[in-house]
Amino acid sequence: MSAKVGFIGLGIMGRPMAGHLARAGHDVVVFTRTRDKASALLAEGVEWRDSPAALAADRDVVFLCVTDTPDVENVLFGADGVAGSIRAGSVVVDHSTIAPAGARAFAERLAGQGVAMLDAPITGGEIGAQNATLTIMVGGDAAAFQRVEPLLKTMGRTVRHVGPSGAGQALKACNQILCAVNVMGVCEAILLARQSGIDPATAIETLGGGAGGSWAWTQLGRKIVDGDLNPAFMIRLMQKDLRIVQSAAQENGVPLPGTALAQQLFRAVESRDAGGDLGTQAMIRAYEGMMG
């Protein structure tokens, strides 16, 4: 059954996600700050709207995929924001990675207008967005989740309701801990293999199926060996996420020494030659710097 949906934010992740919704036969309209990013979708027949408010006015479901907590707040409640026009009974689905406390606060504000908001952060990277194989972890009202679940399944392989408002963002914070700490392990293992006279490519192939194997080992490890530091996910965005992680940890009284070390290593890369725009596998530069 076709749904009337809007999609705000057409970056690396949002653009293919909106495309999947359109190609599934839904009535999709889009808005993003830079209209050129929508050009491929517009060529496929997707409609453009000039503001979040114009987009939301006649939509049943509005998807967001922007950068940070203040960006979500501005899109929702700023001038020409979604909240100014969205109809009671509609659902907002936020795929951004933001603070769990922010997700809860925004959901409460929209609930006052009769609008449900789900925090639905994603993981799986650009390839996952392109191939509709994302993992989507959803917090918020269970009935609202059931309404939009078929739409989410056009964009993701694993779609799961994980708890009340803010729970999706809290679980995404856990995911980012795993991502950051795994990169440390990958860098250290590659360097030890190299210094021990073992071909790192052989190490990756041999250990990939073992107890220490991981997505980071096989995917990011191979990029490191190939000298490919181009971003699937930029260090500066990971650092933004890790600040959210540490804030959530402080709120809940959880020590995260491994995560703190990963932040420092990423910071060392950020401080050199626009390193924040490199992929997270560029953490290897921090280790190489320590080795001289």
Catalytic site positions: 172
Supply φ then ψ for residue 218, to 5 degrees: -80, -35
Other CB atoms within 10 Å distance of the CB of residue 70: 12
Contact (CB, 8 A) for 119 and 41: no
Q: Kind of pairing, strands 122-123 and 134-139?
A: antiparallel
Residue 140: both structure tokens together: 């918020």
Alpha-helical runs (H) found in the chain: 14-23, 39-43, 52-56, 69-77, 100-111, 125-131, 142-152, 167-195, 200-207, 215, 221-226, 235-252, 257-270, 284-291
Amino acid at 252: N
Ramachandran quadrant class, 166 (left: phi over 0; alpha: psi -120 to 50; beta: rest): left
Reported in sequence order, the residue ranges of the chain that DSSP labels E, i.e. its strands, are 4-8, 27-31, 47-48, 61-64, 91-94, 116-119, 122-123, 134-139, 156-163
Closest of 106, 88, 96, 242 to residue 165, by C-alpha: 106
Closest of 184, 182, 145 to residue 268, by C-alpha: 184
Please state, in angstroms and rounded to a whole number, the distance separating the CA atoms of residues 3 and 15. 18
Supply φ then ψ for residue 103, to 5 degrees: -60, -45
Please state, in angstroms and rounded to a whole number, the distance separating the CA atoms of residues 29 and 119. 20
Q: Kind of pairing, strands 122-123 and 116-119?
A: unpaired
